[in-house]
Structure 1
Amino acid sequence: MTSTLESALLRLARKQSASPHEDFTETLSRSLHAIRTHLNMEVGFISEFVNDRRYFRYVDADNRDAVICVGQSDALEDSFCQRVVDGRLPGLLTDACLHPEALTLPVTRALPVGAHLSAPIRLSNGRVFGTLCCFSARADHSLNGRDIAMLQVVSDMLAGHIEARLLEQRAQTDIESRIALAMEPDHMRSVYQPIWDLTQQRLVGFEALTRFQCGPAQSPEQWFMEATQADLGTVMEIHAIECAVQALHHLPEGIYLAINASPRTVVSPELSQLLAGLPLDRLVLEITEHEVVDATMYSRIAHITRSLRDAGLRVAVDDAGAGYASFKHILHLAPDIIKLDVSMTRGIDRDLSRQALAAALVRFAESTHGRLVAEGVETDAEIDTLRQLGVGLAQGYALGKPMPLEQALHLTRTPSQQT
């Protein structure tokens, strides 16, 4: 084996075991070129069997005007590939014109086909995906069993990559189907959690949250994470926001509505189009993200939200205290509202460290003309502590669970106060 082929196969094996996200097309193309040049063949290709036809998915050739090209197809029964797979032809032919079965195929004399090597690409369930083939117009009697064995080794490696890609595509299709189902009427709905002013003890707004009425049974966070992984995160978020803002037509003028969007959705033209014409002075855009956002994205967010904020929109950063990313958001976006994460508020009445951090954020918010909202408040003791620390706004089960719009509207008409 030449050092060139050894290096190519070593790179392929490393990609297969250590880098599953390496470019699929590059891997197959480089492997095909390596084995073709090692065997000194004129043409190499990777085919796929679909019903009764053979499709050429990858082609590598000395001559750019090769007799076959990517995307072409022909009848499977009229191919060397089918006959190799079912055993009518051997995987190695040093001169196809000397084999009786090969001579039954018109292509053998028409091209002509001299030396020919073919190995099935067989998946783990036994299904033949297609074949890895190399051939030349000239005969080559120097080819031997080691050459066809090497072709089969490469074919087996390619089968692993192809099977992984097929599984990814199947998973992607399944996710797309689930996301499409989730966005059908009555499968996605908005609920509204009240936000209270702790000092004045009055209702000031609602955060719109999403609930799913279809399977699989998983949390809203998992739904949105799955949609993001499938490159459908913005589509689902925009749909959720469309559902949520319908409440603005019914909520009293003095009550604001908080909606959630990831940085990618914030900079999407779809969000700007959706917000156009809405009463921005009654909206709070909560930017939610649990990963580090780069400087370019921060600049885009600032640019997109500048005119919206000038028109009255307020920007909030979610999950403050939950990790590094939220503090980066605060420093780069200068939000109007900072939302104190549930991990900070839970048990804050018994934890001096949490109290110290909350107090620091209160001072930071005051110095930047912002406000602090505590999330996940569940006890009266937590409410009292937050009030003493100067946290102005809060939400949580102790103040009201997420509720349907009808119940939220009833709450706005009820004179009862929070504790």
Structure 2
Amino acid sequence: MSQPSFSNASAWSHEGLSPSSFSLAYQPVFSIKAENQFVVAFEALLRITNRGVTQGPAELVTRAEADGTIIEIDRWVLDQVIALLRSRPRLSVWINTSQLSIAHPTFVEDAIRSLTSNQVIGRVSFEVTETADVDAQILTKRLEVLRLQALTVMVDDVRDGYAKRSLIFSDAVAGCKLSRESTRELMVSERTRAEVESLVKLCRRLGKQVVLEGIETTDELSLARQLGISLCQGYFLGMPANPADLQHFTEMRPHD
């Protein structure tokens, strides 16, 4: 079975960018249940280098979702992650994926085909992001296809104006993520803490995971434990870096 082509020149047209302008950094996701926390996965983060400056993708993603090229960018990210997974048998990766891509008529099937043919299916989880908006019924159907292939889906930034929180109740969704903004608010707002405590209880009742992003201090890590959140990311735990700079994690070491 041939691997689908994940390249389209139109996806790189913004401000003169080309595929060589894009790279991926990987940030570890830690289980903090025990004092000796350990890595459960790495999140792939898109980085763009333009005129010698490397930055995050927020502005590009907004424009790419507006003109539809986000689908090709998400295909490119998946292709790069698959190449990394082939050389690192202990590695699991979480990929940020636009709702537009998930709802696209062929994206999910192409992704499953590529993951299967490269023998890495089950080692990729999709984080569904919401900048663009798509029909909830279509999105749910596409997520169900991923579930049937035992592919994990997380709802990203669930408190940041996410319009489809009802996805948490779907059997196709394994859990949700709370952004750095939520972490900041948790440290100063009793209202936010009450909201997050309620969310954590709901997810626990439904058998879902909760991930808290943006852990930058010992106090924030302690608060995550107090709230019963067992999965965390943040600079305090592990910085985003390219694979070569993460060799101290056994999961990031290639075949000997």
Equivalent residues, number: 235
1:134-153 alignment to 2 at 5 Å?
Answer: none
In structure 2, C-alpha distance between the alignment counterparts of 1:229 and 1:181, rounded to whole Å = 17
Structure possessing the higher relative contact order (Cα contacts under 8 Å, 6 or more residues apart): 2
- The answer to whether structure 1 residue 281 and structure 2 residue 122 are counterparts is yes
Determine the structure 2 residue equivalent to 1:195. 29
- The answer to whether structure 1 residue 294 and structure 2 residue 151 are counterparts is no
**Residues 292 and 301 of structure 1, relative CA distance in 2, 3 Å threshold:** same
**Residues 308 and 215 of structure 1, relative CA distance in 2, 3 Å threshold:** farther
| 1:337 Cα deviation from its structure 2 partner | 2.1
C-alpha contact 2:71 2:100 (8 A) present in aligned 1: yes
- The answer to whether structure 1 residue 258 and structure 2 residue 99 are counterparts is no
SS at match of 1:286: strand
SS at match of 1:296: helix
| 1:279 Cα deviation from its structure 2 partner | 2.5
**Residues 204 and 177 of structure 1, relative CA distance in 2, 3 Å threshold:** closer
TM-score, normalising length: structure 1: 0.51
Letter in 2 for 1:188: F
Question: Tell me, which stretches of 5 or more residues in structure 2 are unaligned?
Answer: 1-9
In structure 1, C-alpha distance between the alignment counterparts of 2:75 and 2:15, rounded to whole Å = 13
| 1:413 Cα deviation from its structure 2 partner | 6.8
| 1:244 Cα deviation from its structure 2 partner | 2.5
In structure 2, C-alpha distance between the alignment counterparts of 1:395 and 1:386, rounded to whole Å = 11
C-alpha contact 2:177 2:210 (8 A) present in aligned 1: yes
| 1:252 Cα deviation from its structure 2 partner | 4.6
Letter in 2 for 1:256: S
1:224-235 alignment to 2 at 5 Å?
Answer: 224-235=61-72
C-alpha contact 2:29 2:231 (8 A) present in aligned 1: yes
* Cα shift readout 1:60-100 (whole Å, capped 9, x = no counterpart): xxxxxxxxxxxxxxxxxxxxxxxxxxxxxxxxxxxxxxxxx
| 1:270 Cα deviation from its structure 2 partner | 3.5
Percentage of pairs with the same residue: 26
C-alpha contact 1:317 1:338 (8 A) present in aligned 2: yes
Question: Tell me, which stretches of 5 or more residues in structure 1 are unaligned?
Answer: 1-174, 415-419
Determine the structure 2 residue equivalent to 1:315. 153
**Residues 372 and 230 of structure 1, relative CA distance in 2, 3 Å threshold:** same
SS at match of 1:325: coil
In structure 2, C-alpha distance between the alignment counterparts of 1:400 and 1:199, rounded to whole Å = 17
- The answer to whether structure 1 residue 403 and structure 2 residue 238 are counterparts is no
Determine the structure 1 residue equivalent to 2:196. 358
1:136-175 alignment to 2 at 5 Å?
Answer: none
**Residues 331 and 361 of structure 1, relative CA distance in 2, 3 Å threshold:** same
**Residues 203 and 230 of structure 1, relative CA distance in 2, 3 Å threshold:** same
From 214, 227, 241, give the equivalent of 2:78: 241
In structure 1, C-alpha distance between the alignment counterparts of 2:236 and 2:137, rounded to whole Å = 40
1:331-410 alignment to 2 at 5 Å?
Answer: 331=169, 335-410=173-248
C-alpha contact 1:203 1:412 (8 A) present in aligned 2: no
In structure 2, C-alpha distance between the alignment counterparts of 1:237 and 1:262, rounded to whole Å = 7
C-alpha contact 2:155 2:175 (8 A) present in aligned 1: yes
In structure 2, C-alpha distance between the alignment counterparts of 1:177 and 1:395, rounded to whole Å = 30
| 1:326 Cα deviation from its structure 2 partner | 4.7
* Cα shift readout 1:232-279 (whole Å, capped 9, x = no counterpart): 1101111122122322124352x4210111122113313422332142
In structure 2, C-alpha distance between the alignment counterparts of 1:178 and 1:392, rounded to whole Å = 41
| 1:204 Cα deviation from its structure 2 partner | 1.1
From 1, 8, 13, give the equivalent of 1:178: 13
Determine the structure 2 residue equivalent to 1:150. none
SS at match of 2:122: helix
C-alpha contact 2:29 2:41 (8 A) present in aligned 1: yes
* Cα shift readout 1:289-312 (whole Å, capped 9, x = no counterpart): 135543332343234323223xxx
C-alpha RMSD of matched pairs (Å): 2.6
Letter in 2 for 1:247: L
Q: Which structure: larger Rg?
A: 1
